[in-house]
Structure 1
């Protein structure tokens, strides 16, 4: 530092005074050259360190931390405004109507599923009875009294099964009709309260449920029609069998052939 000050004095225009001042100046210039060499050496070492992989990683880490800090600082500076929720009477009624439609749709889906399953089981029971009836028709006049009683016990048991399935259909039909009525009322309430989307969704569910139930009802009606045709065929077959035998042999006809179903 003394050398820099002395150099500054030289630059200010002060003249050397005597041999002593000249020697001091030369010594100061030597010190200045040594200092410049040290500064250059430090600069070279710094460049070498900055180009090393370790320094690059440290630099990237420092930059990432700085970016994260700047972003978080920016977020902290952003004022978060919370909107005040609308709690008017209209809004509360609209929310309540949406809840009603959700519950009504759940009730409708469950009752529809139960009714469809009940009609499916009823149709299966009808087809089983039809198969037993046809088997009996083809065996008229070929069975012993014991075999006749055995097959009629199976037919009677299947008829009980059909009756039970029909009662189950009627019970679920009542629940399903209640669900239809509730959904219609909830859809109307949602529309009047301004919840058009809930009204539209409920009406769509109503259409889908009615379509599924009508489809399974059609299957049940077709099965009942086939059963009626089978009974008519059985009556005709019995009449043909009775007319084909001698009247004296009517006492030998099993009681099952003479009963009316």
Structure 2
């Protein structure tokens, strides 16, 4: 800055006086030229940096990324470094995760087997009620049917009994799968509790209670249908006994064979 002021004095018309003033002026001019050279060097370095690929890539960085850049301070060094905390993958945590996966699979298995068992018992109960209706129709028509009509209705009853038997076998098959699912869920709930996954254990136990409740409800419906069928069978036997006792012994040969058979 002293050199610039001296140069300004020269430009204002002040004349050099003496040899000493001349030497001072030369020294100031040297300082001025050195300062200009330094400024030019800094300018060149700045242009090189601005045109470099690194600088261009930095300029293209999104604002969000640049805003999260690590902050530095010249006076105190590193001020803030953002980082993400990594979860501790210990043996306990891995076992806990695995037990949660086991309970999820067990719950899915339980859900599917429960749905299948409930549907099987529903179909079984429907088949029982259909057979009950056929039996009652037969009871009301005892002594009023021809042998051909008698055989026809008994063919329908026998076919429905086969249907009931098939539905019962289906219930037994799905019952076995459902019991396996119950056992697996109980084991998985215990494993989840021992590993520290209490929430998975609680959810599995809740699903067990819901599944057992639904199956018990449909079992009750099936038991009631079987009870009605047994009552209908007893009514049929009583009705046949009354019919046989009401006819003359000589007319027994005219009784259709279906009335005399034991079902």
TM over 0.5: yes
Question: Does the residue aligned with 1:140 lie in a helix, a strand or coil?
Answer: coil
What CA RMSD, in Å, does the superposition of the two structures yield over aligned residues?
8.0
Question: Does the residue aligned with 1:175 lie in a helix, a strand or coil?
Answer: helix
Question: Does the residue aligned with 1:98 lie in a helix, a strand or coil?
Answer: helix
1:54–1:167 CA distance, 2 compared to 1 (3 A): closer
Question: Does the residue aligned with 2:14 lie in a helix, a strand or coil?
Answer: coil
Q: 1:81-138 CA deviation, whole Å, 9 max, x = no partner?
A: 3x11211110111111000000000000000000000000000000000000000000
Q: 1:208-252 CA deviation, whole Å, 9 max, x = no partner?
A: 000000000000000000000000000000000000000000000
Question: Does the residue aligned with 1:233 lie in a helix, a strand or coil?
Answer: helix
1:4–1:197 CA distance, 2 compared to 1 (3 A): closer
**How far apart, in 2, do the equivalents of 1:212 and 1:48 lie?**
79
The structure in which a higher percent of residues are helix is: 1
Partner of 2:83: 80
Aligned-residue offset at 1:41? 42
Task: Report if aligned partners of 2:72, 2:78 keep a CA contact under 8 Å in 1.
Answer: no
Task: Report if aligned partners of 2:117, 2:175 keep a CA contact under 8 Å in 1.
Answer: yes
Q: 1:161-214 CA deviation, whole Å, 9 max, x = no partner?
A: 000000000000000000000000000000000000000000000000000000
Partner of 1:65: 68
**Greater shift in the superposed pair: 144-153 or 49-58:** 49-58
Question: Does the residue aligned with 1:230 lie in a helix, a strand or coil?
Answer: helix
Partner of 1:232: 234
Partner of 1:157: 159
> What runs of 5+ residues in structure 2 fail to find an aligned partner?
none
1:152–1:185 CA distance, 2 compared to 1 (3 A): same
Match of 2:178 among 162, 165, 176: 176
Aligned-residue offset at 1:258? 0.3
Task: Report if aligned partners of 2:113, 2:174 keep a CA contact under 8 Å in 1.
Answer: yes
TM-score (norm 2): 0.70
Aligned-residue offset at 1:66? 18
Question: Does the residue aligned with 1:69 lie in a helix, a strand or coil?
Answer: strand
Partner of 1:216: 218
> What runs of 5+ residues in structure 1 fail to find an aligned partner?
none
